[in-house]
Amino acid sequence: MQGNRRRDTKPEMAVRRAVHALGLRYRVDARPLAGLNRRADLVFTRAKVAVFIDGCYWHGCPQHGTTARTNSGYWGPKIQRNRERDADTDTLLLQAGWEVLRFWEHETPTDVAARIITVVKGTESRTPSRT
């Protein structure tokens, strides 16, 4: 598992490039909440939006997720724990007032970026400005 990247995966980089090209700036691989030991792939701190680009295998994509051929007694429960942790992370962030966006690695980066832009811009317009 050491060869598997935690950040800077191809799908994540494609989304980051698309979002950056559309003019948004963000934090990469950051904790949305300081006391929560979980990291989002893109974090928009001012808008309080956390974006996760989930791998189909590691997070159990219903469309592309596969069952391990070897050591399935380990990988099945491992992927289930990942899904439960994802749901827990979403709940904790929502309770703290964050917007959570989750996308699968197989989704088109430009479509993902468009959705992110819509949510971030919508959230920023509701945030009172500091004057």
Q: What is the pLDDT of residue 8?
A: 82
Q: What is the pLDDT along the chain (131 residues), one digit of tens a residue?
A: 445 667 889 999 999 999 999 999 999 999 999 999 999 999 999 999 999 999 998 899 989 878 888 888 999 999 999 999 999 999 999 999 999 999 999 999 999 999 999 999 987 666 554 44
Q: How many Cβ atoms from other residues are within 10 Å of residue 24's Cβ?
A: 19
Question: Homologous superfamily of 10-121 in CATH?
Answer: VSR Endonuclease (3.40.960.10)
pLDDT at site 3: 56
Handedness of CA 98, 32, 46, 111 (dihedral sign): negative
Domain residue extents for the chain:
10-121
Structure token digits, residue 44: 């928009």
Give the CA distances from residue 82 to residues 14, 55, 79, 126, in Å, rounded to whole numbers and listed in that order.
23, 11, 5, 32
What local confidence, expressed as pLDDT, does residue 70 receive? 86
Residue 129, pLDDT score = 47
